[in-house]
């Protein structure tokens, strides 16, 4: 079974402190689904072509299906509702290669 990954790039965050509620709820979702944070705040980024050297978050799940289910969960929907105004994100769920 292929692993699943959440890949998030944040080109715009006007107020990082206002993300605390989202981070707490999203963190619980990731932990409950068995996700592992591989890169997050403070990770170094070297961007190329159209990429932006902004905050990138990479989370690994044991399967693609787990990653999709975590995104659809009630706790993650609550986390999304807690996102502040002025927030922009490029979020993807990617299936890993075996």
Q: Which residue has the higher pLDDT, 15 or 91?
A: 91
Instruction: Report how far residue 44's alpha carbon sits from residue 55's, in angstroms, rounded to the nearest whole number.
Output: 9
Delineate the domains of the chain, giving CATH numbers in brackets.
4-95 (3.30.70.100)
Average predicted confidence (pLDDT) for the chain: 89
**Using an 8 Å Cβ cutoff, are 4 and 93 in contact?**
yes
**Per-residue pLDDT at 43:** 82
Average pLDDT over every residue of 37-57? 83
User: Which pLDDT value is given to residue 47?
Assistant: 82
Alpha-carbon dihedral of residues 66, 68, 73, 76, nearest 10 degrees? Answer: 110
* Confidence tier at 88 by pLDDT (50, 70, 90): confident
């Amino acid at each position: 079974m292929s692993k699943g990954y959440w890949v998030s790039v944040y080109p715009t965050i006007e107020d990082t402190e206002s993300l605390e509620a989202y981070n707490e709820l999203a963190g619980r979702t990731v932990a409950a689904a068995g996700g592992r944070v591989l890169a997050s705040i403070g990770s170094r980024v070297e961007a190329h072509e159209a990429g932006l050297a902004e905050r990138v978050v990479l989370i690994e799940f044991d399967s693609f299906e787990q990653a999709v289910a975590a995104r659809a969960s009630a706790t993650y929907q609550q986390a999304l509702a807690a996102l502040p105004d002025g927030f922009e994100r490029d979020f993807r769920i990617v299936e890993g290669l075996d």
